[in-house]
A and B are shown apart, each in its own frame.
Chain A
Amino acid sequence: MYKALVACRAGMGSSVLLKVKVDQVIKENNLDIFTEHGNLDSLIGFNGDLLITMEDLANELSDKVDYVIGIKNIIDKEEIERKLEDFLKFKNEKDK
């Protein structure tokens, strides 16, 4: 089970909206990921596998965690699913 942090710059708000959608996608597709949400301070000491944030924030955060997903459209489940599947593929390749 992989651990993901869903975070945006200002704690409560977009990160919660994003987490609601990501959790739906995870549940519908039975993905081996669980999420927690927070703000950028939560990144300090975060020992999980994945950061999920909005695309405009993804670049500045890409060096903080092993893998960062940036979402463009918070209601686009296909985009979220595709990016989560890419992450799982990346992990599978790495663990081979």
Chain B
Amino acid sequence: MFKGLVKWARVKSPWILHMNCGSCNGCDIEILAALIPRLDVERFGVLLKGTPRHADVLVCTGPVTKQMKERLKRVYDQMPEPKFVVVVGQCGSSGGIYQGAYGVEGGIDTVIPVNAYIPGCPPRPDAIADGLIKLLASIDKGGKP
């Protein structure tokens, strides 16, 4: 009984944390644009939080630079379980055009496990919101608890 209630609550109240791991800032602007009143993601319970302790979903952008690798790991570890990771943009998904560059580690999934990828360079704000909603739908259907 409580399992169903908790799952419902988890799907209804995803608080996100935005992190730039070496992006060109294009995707970050689009993420902020997805949070404006026009799309109003608070309809789905999404709130932007400043601290990893409050967050459920880590929204990352950009190829992971060698400098950022340890910090990304640390922020991920600071989030309480259960946690999900959404990658926004081409560079975060695979490394993009920075693949193989001397200062770049690769995509986000080379450092931490990723639940959803949102492709695009940069993706539109509505695509970002849609990706988040699809992640919630997959949790609801019974993916990772």
Partners in one complex: no
Q: Which residues of A contact B (CB under 8 A)?
A: none
Q: Which residues of B contact A (CB under 8 A)?
A: none
